[in-house]
Amino acid sequence: MFLTVVLTSGPLWGKPIWGTWWTWDARLTSTLFLFFLLISYHVLRSAVTDAGLRARYAAVLGICAVVLVGFIHMSVYLFPTLHPQPIVLRPAKPGVPPEMLVTLLLSFGVFLVLYVGFVMQRYAIAQQREGAASDV
């Protein structure tokens, strides 16, 4: 879902800024390739009927997707083209004002705690359902 939004809203923003809907920039092309890889992952999960084979193939595609995410991040350093250098996740000191960095990190921490709470709640609900199903 996120990649679909990025690949559709990016050209809408890029047309007035860069003067073109699409350019074969390393980061854009890698993101498009990741999008196709994730679509093929979902197609594979629904197409293969053998559970063991489906899990093995999906694991290989998932590992390739994770490696590609790292490559997409590094593509800004490896192929400096249209996209600017990162300002938060860069080897030197972050290029944002300290107030913005504190706000970003605080927001990240709050959402991380919220996410962990949701996962723990979901796990507890699943354990309850499993216990209720085994009692019957």
User: pLDDT tens digits for 16-32?
Assistant: 877 888 788 888 888 88
Rama region for 96: left / alpha / beta (φ>0; ψ in -120 to 50; rest): beta
Q: What is the model's pTM?
A: 0.62
pLDDT of 136 reads: 62
pLDDT above 80: residue 14: no
DSSP character string of 104-121:
HHHHHHHHHHHHHHHHHH
pLDDT of 21 reads: 81
User: pLDDT tens digits for 55-104?
Assistant: 999 999 999 999 988 888 888 778 877 777 777 766 677 778 889 989 99
So where are the chain's domains? 1-85, 91-136
